[in-house]
Structure 1
Amino acid sequence: MFKLHRTLMAAALLVAASSSSQAALISGQLAFSFTTNITMSSSNFTTSPITVTGATGGVVTATSGTFFSGATTVSAGTSPFTAPGAGPYTLTIDGKGVFTSTSISITSATSTTLYLTLKGKIAPSIAGFDPTDVILTMQFQATSTDPGSLVSGSGSLLAVPVPEPSSIALAGIGVAAAGLFGLRKRFAK
């Protein structure tokens, strides 16, 4: 074998050198409850599409992860919004960043309960973090199917970072090197 280990080492160094130093991807979760008056375009949530108005401000109820810690309020820049739809729906997290949806879908609906899933990206406003794909789930609950009934809402923002391609390539090179060193020992005997 023509000094295969040197070739693999050179490839690993090339991948490591080509990956620029980046900030961290956001990871963690943020839960909130809306504190504003919410109305829906229909008194029955099973009638699609549904326009949500007034889901513009809320208080953070729980956080996990270093990015979301310390957040106390959320405010939406988009009201009304329609589900299902392309959006965008924006949600500002207390000086941390802005979530912008790329799609809004209805996960499930009954006559008085509506669950939505919004996929999009959060653009951080603090240093040290890169924009990250996130999923926002929201639940709306009406007290009755009567027009004008009280609607409450809550949501949860979940950020799950995906590894960079250069990290995956470097791991692949490591696995290939380990396999080739095993083959080398087997053929040396």
Structure 2
Amino acid sequence: MAQDRVEAVERALTVLEAFDSAQEYFSLAELAQATGFYKSTLLRLLGSLARFDYVQRDAHGRWHLGHAPVRLARRHLPGRHLARRIQPLLARLASESGETATLLEVEDGMAECRLVTLPETALRHDLHPGDRWAMTEEHDPRPALPGGTMVCQALPGDALEPPRWLALSGPAGRLDTRRARAALAHAVARLSAESGKGSTESGP
């Protein structure tokens, strides 16, 4: 209904919609053409969007999406298909190891907990979906864990997907890294076998 509309918000969303394109960088003139807004109006809208990191302006005056849309999108759990495959596996890993079992995802130098199963013990590594931390090394998603440790196993994927890892974490004196690596390797092998079976069954 008309009374439910906020014109300034709709204009800002119209600007964001313009970035839903194969083109990554836009001049002010290109955005004006895409949205139908005057450049003066666009500058005010872009200024507000930039303050909240929805858009950014480069050294050449061109505009591109900022980090906020990606950050909000990553707050959502993985797709149902992925969660359906991974969550039971995490539950089994946590039950058998007595440690926190996690699905991690990596993008732009940040690691994020996407799915997790916590063990039934008070002394544990508490992680929750949406927890994020900066990576210290390119291929190592482990966070700093004073008094604790994390063991990771990369999941196979393609270039279109962000890198994902299965992980077990807990107190350093309790978590057996050798057994954790073996359990994770076995879990990844099971996932690969199930994926292959699913592809065969869905084929002609």
Which has more strand, going by share of residues?
Answer: 1
TM-score band, normalised by the shorter chain? under 0.3
Which has the bigger relative contact order, CA under 8 A and spacing at least 6?
1
In our comparison, the structure showing a higher alpha carbon Rg is 1
Q: Which structure's residues are more often helix, by fraction?
A: 2
